[in-house]
């Protein structure tokens, strides 16, 4: 009988564990073009749940979905100086099409600020046309040298929100509101305890006035930027002449924002919650929340499957995502391992003696098994799924706390970033930040929004600290 071989243990090689789990749990596979991946049905179902949840949150905050083209004239990207400089090294450009060399090369969108800015310059005339609150779910291409499934791929799926406003204040509020939506999603749906705040000048988005971010800690202590929300000021408005006539009849530039979350978040979920047995998926976005494994011999097959079917219907009736694994060609033991590897929160084991006694065994992916009466089992699960979510979040919070240290000297700083997050004062000079990266591989991840106000001197150069608080430094994905 086929046996499920487990992934490489995390303690042995975390990076290999990550690649193993993605393959073994059938989330994704490598595609023929280097740096691209195929997302398999189980991985795509997980992405769809992320998408569905966030989409509802975007709509609840007044945004509408639209779709802009994949191809962008090169000249558009050149209009915003920092933007083109930031994205040029990663651009994929179409120079030939229809058997001819194109008059103007076309960039494959790395992001859509420019084409949306161009369209807004046509659509926006007066204050009555504002605000514009758009979102699109799409793919973008950024030619990456070092790739890793979900974390860094040449083509990836994401959503990009784009908004235009009449005032600076409104645009800044929008920037903060959308970061808030991401944080809400991370904590309450993905069970990720993220740290929200601002990026330093060196780490901000190319073309932004400032970038806000949320950073999560992976189980190897490294940081993952999980979503960003940018205040673009009037940079793109000036580049694309997006103006409007205000109530005072004066012609003004609009203020814009953009914000995005990609399938990187799946990498974050895998590396925050997974263990040596495989994935552990947060119940609110897990493709399967409860798997029923019927255990039978030929003579008990019918009765057991009938009981499994009744339970599955009950669970589905409560709105839960349930799957019955009735594959005859695998043993129950194989199935247990398989669903553990795939990170399904709860497993119900149902054998002939259980059916006779009116009971079932409920096993949690976080450990523990109990025998429960079949009657009322379905009704008990929503609450247990909530408790599962809470426990995942608590574990991740505890881990993050244990691996985060406030440090005031450079030697301790180096130790701290080797195993997790360092909270340190920094002078704010991009050259000093670059030196830190070269010397320790750590970068400034976020200036935490809710850190207490503190004064100090730069952990590396000793100059007075900027930001009025400690900055999170870490090695990052
Ligand atoms: Zn410094």
Distance 430 CA to ligand 1 centre (A): 8
CA of 206 to the centre of ligand 1 (A): 22
* Cβ-defined contacts of 324-333 (< 8 Å, 24+): 324/291, 324/292, 324/294, 325/291, 325/292, 325/293, 325/294, 326/294, 330/1, 330/2, 331/1, 332/293, 332/295
Which burial class, exposed, middle or buried, applies to 100 when counting CB atoms under 10 A from its CB (0-12, 13-18, 19+)? exposed
In a domain, 5, yes or no: no
Domain co-membership, 447 together with 349: no
Query: What per-residue confidence (pLDDT) applies to 340?
Result: 97
Helix, strand, or coil (residue 53)? helix
User: Residue with structure tokens 């100059």?
Assistant: 463
Q: Note the maximum CA span of the chain.
A: 84
Q: Is residue 386 part of a domain?
A: no
How does residue 464 score in pLDDT terms, banded at 50, 70 and 90? very high
Exposure string of 152-185, with b = 16+ CB inside 10 Å and e = fewer, is bbbbbbbbbbbbbbbeeebbbebbeebbbbbbeb
Find the 84 Cα to ligand 1 centroid distance in Å.
Answer: 28
Same domain, 368 and 409: no
Give me ligand 1 centre to Cα 439, in Å: 13
Digit-coded pLDDT (tens) for 203-258:
999 899 999 999 999 999 999 999 999 999 999 999 999 999 999 999 999 999 99
d(CA 143, ligand 1 centre) in Å = 32
Q: How far apart are CA 127 and CA 253, in angstroms?
A: 11
Lowest-confidence pick of 2-16, 65-79, 274-288, 331-345: 2-16
* Ligand 1 mean position, distance from CA 86 (Å): 24
Would you state the structure tokens that stand for residue 373, as one six-digit string?
């009466």
In whole angstroms, how far apart are CA 52 and each of 36, 55, 233, 285, 460?
24, 5, 30, 9, 44
Rounded Cα–Cα distance for residues 311 and 317 (Å): 10
Show which of 242, 273, 304 is a domain's final residue: 273
Q: Does 354 lie in the same domain as 320?
A: yes
Q: Is the pLDDT of residue 81 over 90?
A: no
Give the model's pLDDT for residue 173. Answer: 98
Averaged over 377-406, what is the pLDDT? 98
CATH of the domain at 341: 3.40.50.800
- Interval 355-384: pLDDT, tens: 999 999 999 999 999 999 999 999 999 999
What would the mean pLDDT of 91-105 be, rounded to a whole number?
Answer: 96
Task: Give me the pLDDT at residue 222, please.
Answer: 98
Which distant-in-sequence residues (6+ apart) come within 8 Å of 376 by Cβ?
none
Q: Which two tokens stand for residue 45?
A: 């179902």
Segment 418-429 shows an average pLDDT of 97
Rounded to the nearest whole angstrom, what is the distance from the C-alpha of residue 468 to the centroid of ligand 1?
14
3-state SS of 293-361?
Answer: EECCCCCCHHHHHHHHHHHHHHHHHCCCCEEECCCCCCCHHHHHHHHHHCCCCEEEEECHHHHHHCEEE
Integer Cα distance of 352 and 467 in angstroms: 65
Ligand 1 centroid–CA 220 distance in Å is: 27
Same domain, 168 and 209: yes
Residue 3 has pLDDT above 60, yes or no: no
Q: Burial, 379: exposed, middle or buried (Cβ in 10 Å; 0-12, 13-18, 19+)?
A: exposed
Shared domain for 419 and 321, answered yes or no, is no
Residue 439 within any structural domain of the chain: yes
Residue 185 has pLDDT above 60, yes or no: yes
pLDDT score, position 4: 54
**For residue 144, what pLDDT band results from cuts at 50, 70 and 90?**
confident
CA distance 361 to 365: 13
| Residue 141 belongs to domain spanning | 14-273
Given pLDDT bands bounded at 50, 70 and 90, which one contains residue 189?
A: very high
466 alpha carbon – ligand 1 mean position (Å): 9
pLDDT of residue 162: 98
Distance 211 CA to ligand 1 centre (A): 21
What's the pLDDT score for residue 79? Answer: 87
Distance 425 CA to ligand 1 centre (A): 8
| Reported confidence tier of residue 120, pLDDT bands at 50, 70, 90 | very high
Q: How many angstroms does the Cα of residue 344 sit away from the middle of ligand 1? A: 46
Mean per-residue pLDDT for 87-97? Answer: 93
Q: Quickly state the pLDDT bin for 83 (edges 50, 70, 90).
A: confident
Q: Establish how many alpha carbons lie within 13 A of residue 186's alpha carbon, considering only the half-sphere containing its beta carbon.
A: 31
Distance 201 CA to ligand 1 centre (A): 14
In this structure, the answer to whether residues 294 and 267 fall within a common structural domain is no
Residues 315 and 444 in one domain: no
How many A from CA of 470 to the centre of ligand 1? 13
Average pLDDT over residues 26-31: 97
Find the 419 Cα to ligand 1 centroid distance in Å.
Answer: 22
- Domain of 460, CATH number, reads 3.30.110.30
- State if pTM tops 0.75: yes
- Same-domain pairing of 185 and 295: no
Is the same domain home to 123 and 244? yes
Nearest to 474 by CA among 159, 222, 227: 222
Helix then strand count (H, E) for the chain reads 14, 23
Mean pLDDT rounded to a whole number for the chain: 96
SS3 content of the chain, % helix, strand, coil (to 5): 40, 30, 35
pLDDT at site 1:
43
Task: Quote the pLDDT of residue 469.
Answer: 97
Are both 243 and 369 inside the same structural domain?
no
Number of domains, the chain: 3
Q: Residue 165 falls within a domain, yes or no?
A: yes
- Tokens 């691996």 locate to 403
For the chain, give the percent of residues with pLDDT over 90. Answer: 95
Q: 473 C-alpha vs ligand 1 centroid, how far in Å?
A: 13
């Amino acid at each position: 009988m086929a046996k499920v071989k487990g992934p490489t243990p995390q303690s042995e090689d975390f990076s290999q564990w990550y690649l193993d789990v993605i393959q073994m749990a059938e989330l994704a596979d490598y595609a023929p073009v280097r740096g691209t991946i195929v997302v398999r049905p189980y991985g795509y179902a997980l992405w769809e749940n992320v998408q569905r949840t966030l989409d509802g949150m975007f709509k609840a905050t007044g945004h509408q979905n639209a779709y802009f083209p994949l191809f962008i004239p090169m000249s558009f990207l050149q209009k915003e100086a920092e933007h083109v400089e930031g994205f040029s090294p990663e651009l994929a450009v179409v120079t030939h099409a229809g058997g001819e060399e194109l008059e103007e090369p076309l960039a494959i969108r790395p992001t859509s600020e420019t084409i949306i800015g161009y369209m807004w310059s046509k659509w926006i005339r007066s204050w009555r046309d504002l605000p514009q609150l758009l979102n699109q779910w799409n793919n973008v291409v950024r030619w990456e040298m070092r790739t890793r499934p979900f974390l860094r791929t040449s083509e990836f799926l994401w959503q990009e929100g784009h908004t235009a406003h009449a005032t600076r204040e409104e645009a800044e509020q929008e920037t903060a509101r959308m970061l808030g939506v991401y944080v809400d999603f991370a904590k309450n749906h993905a069970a990720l305890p993220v740290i929200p705040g601002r990026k330093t000048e060196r780490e901000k988005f190319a073309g932004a006035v400032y970038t806000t971010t949320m950073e999560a800690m992976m189980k190897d202590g490294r940081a993952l930027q999980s979503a960003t929300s940018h205040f673009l000021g009037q940079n793109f408005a000036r580049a694309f002449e997006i103006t409007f006539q205000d109530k005072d009849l004066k012609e003004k530039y609009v203020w814009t924002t953009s914000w995005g979350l990609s399938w990187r978040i799946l990498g974050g979920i895998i590396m925050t919650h997974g263990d040596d047995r495989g994935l552990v998926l947060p119940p609110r976005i897990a493709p399967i929340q409860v798997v029923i494994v019927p255990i039978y011999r030929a003579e008990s097959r019918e009765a057991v499957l009938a009981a499994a079917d009744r339970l599955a219907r009950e669970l589905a009736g409560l709105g839960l995502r349930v799957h019955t694994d009735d594959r005859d060609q695998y043993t129950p033991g194989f199935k247990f391992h398989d669903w553990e590897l795939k990170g399904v929160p709860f497993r119900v084991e149902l054998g002939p003696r259980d059916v006779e006694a009116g009971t079932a065994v409920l096993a949690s992916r976080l450990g523990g098994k109990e025998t429960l009466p079949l009657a009322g089992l379905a009704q008990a699960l929503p609450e247990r799924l909530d408790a599962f979510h809470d426990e995942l979040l608590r574990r991740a919070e505890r881990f993050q706390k244990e691996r985060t240290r406030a440090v005031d000297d450079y030697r301790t700083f180096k130790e701290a970033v080797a195993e997790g997050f360092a909270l340190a004062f920094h002078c704010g000079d991009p050259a000093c930040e670059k030196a830190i990266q070269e010397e320790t591989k750590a970068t400034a991840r976020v200036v935490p929004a809710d850190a207490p106000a503190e004064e100090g001197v730069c952990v590396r150069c000793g100059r007075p600290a900027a930001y009025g608080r400690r900055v999170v430094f870490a090695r990052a994905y």
